C-alpha cells in the first residue's frame, strides 16, 4: 500500500508538472500549418546579416535572399520551403524543399488565424501606446487587447500573467520600436511563454519596424501580419518567437529565434513509461504475494 501511495503521489506531481509546462487552459492561438516557422513570408524583399534559428523558413511566393555579415555566419542548418520556380539564395546550411501545397496551406491557416483573433471581443482597449507600460494580470485567462498603435523609443511594453494565460494584441496600426538601449521592446513576464502571446497586426498595410543597434529592441511572442500590404522590418531587431508576414526585410544583424519547446507527446510518453513501469512493479508484487500464500 505504501508503494501504491507513493506511485499515486508521484503521478500527481507529474500531472501538476504537466499542467505547469503545457498551461492550465487551452489556448485560442491555433496557427495550423503556419506554426513553428522562424519566418513565414509571402514575398521576402531583402534579408542581410541576419540569422533564423530554431525553425524552418517559408516563402509562399518568392525567393529567399539571405546574405552577408557576421550574424548570417551563425545560421544553423534548417529547411527553406519554397514554391517551385523560386530560388534559395542563402547560406549553404539551408536545405531547399519545394512544397507549394504545404506553403499555401500554411499561409491560409495564418490568414484564418489572424481573422479569428481579430474577431475576439476585447477585454481591454487602448489607443496609441507611446511610453513604458506594464500590463499585469493575476488570474489565468485569455486577454484580448485592442490597440491603435505602438510607438516606443527606448521604452518597453511588458505583458505578465500566470502560466496558462494568453495575450492577443489586435493592433490596427503600426508597431515602431526605436533606440539602442537594451531591455526595450515587447516583453513578457510571469508564466507566459512566447507561444502565449500574439501581436496581430490587423490593418491591410500595418507594419512592424525596429531600429537601433545591437538588437536592443526585442519582441517576445508571435508576430502575425498577413494584410496585403503588411510587413515586418527588423533593422536590426530580435524576435524570440515567430514572424508571419506578407513582406519581410531585415539587416544589420537582426535575429529570429524559435525557443525550444518540450512537445506534449514527449511529456505524455514519459508519463506513460512511468505508469507502465509502476504497473509492472505492482503486478510483480501481487504475483509474489500469491506465491507466498500458496507455499
Could you tell me if 148 and 127 are in contact, meaning their C-beta atoms sit under 8 angstroms apart? yes
Name the least confident of 54-58, 142-146, 272-276: 272-276
pLDDT tens digits, one per residue of 163-200: 999 999 999 999 999 999 999 999 999 999 999 999 99
Q: Confirm if 251 and 6 have CB atoms less than 8 A apart.
A: no
Identify any residues that bridge with 89 across adjacent strands, giving them in sequence order. Answer: 65
Q: Do the beta carbons of residue 250 and residue 236 sit within 8 Å?
A: yes
Q: What is the mean pLDDT of residues 64-76?
A: 94
Residue 59 reports pLDDT greater than 70:
yes
> Can you tell me the distance from the alpha carbon of 161 to that of 139, in angstroms, rounded to the nearest whole number?
7
Contact 80, 97 (CB under 8 A): yes
Q: Angle at Cα 171 formed by Cα 167 and Cα 174, nearest 5°?
A: 130
Who's near 186: CB < 8 A, 6+ residues apart?
150, 156, 157, 159, 175, 177, 199, 218, 219, 220, 221
Kindly state the DSSP code that residue 76 receives in the 8-state scheme. Answer: P
Mean pLDDT of 241-245: 98
Confidence bin at 14 (pLDDT 50/70/90): very low
Residue 284 phi, psi dihedral angles, 5° rounding: -60, -40
Q: Delimit the domains of the chain by residue range.
A: 32-257
Report helix, strand or coil for 130. Answer: coil
Q: What is the pLDDT of residue 6?
A: 46
Return the closest-CA partner of residue 175 out of 129, 132, 143.
Answer: 129
Tell me the CA distances in angstroms from 258 to 52, 53, 72, 179, 184, one per residue in order: 8, 6, 16, 24, 19
Amino acid at each position: 500500500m505504501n508503494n501504491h501511495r507513493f506511485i499515486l503521489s508521484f503521478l500527481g506531481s507529474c500531472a501538476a508538472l504537466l499542467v505547469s509546462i503545457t498551461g492550465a487552459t487551452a489556448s485560442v492561438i491555433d496557427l495550423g500549418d503556419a506554426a513553428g516557422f522562424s519566418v513565414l513570408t509571402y514575398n521576402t524583399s531583402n534579408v542581410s546579416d541576419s540569422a533564423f534559428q530554431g525553425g524552418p523558413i517559408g516563402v509562399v511566393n518568392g525567393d529567399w535572399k539571405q546574405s552577408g555579415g557576421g550574424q548570417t555566419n551563425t545560421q544553423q542548418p534548417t529547411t527553406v520551403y519554397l514554391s517551385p520556380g523560386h530560388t534559395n539564395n542563402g547560406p549553404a546550411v539551408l536545405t531547399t524543399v519545394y512544397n507549394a501545397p504545404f506553403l499555401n496551406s500554411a499561409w491560409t491557416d495564418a490568414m484564418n488565424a489572424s481573422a479569428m483573433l481579430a474577431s475576439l471581443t476585447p477585454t481591454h482597449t487602448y489607443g496609441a501606446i507611446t511610453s513604458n507600460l506594464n500590463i499585469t494580470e493575476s488570474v489565468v485567462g485569455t486577454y484580448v487587447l485592442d490597440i491603435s498603435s505602438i510607438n516606443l523609443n527606448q521604452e518597453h511594453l511588458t505583458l505578465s500573467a500566470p502560466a496558462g494565460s494568453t495575450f492577443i494584441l489586435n493592433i490596427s496600426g503600426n508597431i515602431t520600436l526605436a533606440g539602442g538601449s537594451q531591455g526595450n521592446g515587447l516583453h513578457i513576464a510571469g508564466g507566459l511563454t512566447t507561444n502565449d502571446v500574439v501581436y496581430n497586426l490587423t490593418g491591410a498595410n500595418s507594419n512592424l519596424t525596429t531600429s537601433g543597434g545591437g538588437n536592443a529592441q526585442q519582441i517576445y511572442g508571435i508576430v502575425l501580419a498577413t494584410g496585403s500590404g503588411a510587413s515586418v522590418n527588423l533593422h536590426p531587431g530580435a524576435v524570440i518567437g515567430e514572424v508571419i508576414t506578407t513582406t519581410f526585410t531585415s539587416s544589420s544583424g537582426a535575429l529570429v529565434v524559435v525557443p525550444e519547446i518540450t512537445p506534449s507527446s514527449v511529456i505524455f510518453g514519459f508519463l506513460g513509461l512511468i505508469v507502465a513501469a509502476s504497473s509492472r512493479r505492482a503486478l510483480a508484487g501481487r504475483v509474489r504475494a500469491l506465491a507466498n500464500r500458496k507455499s
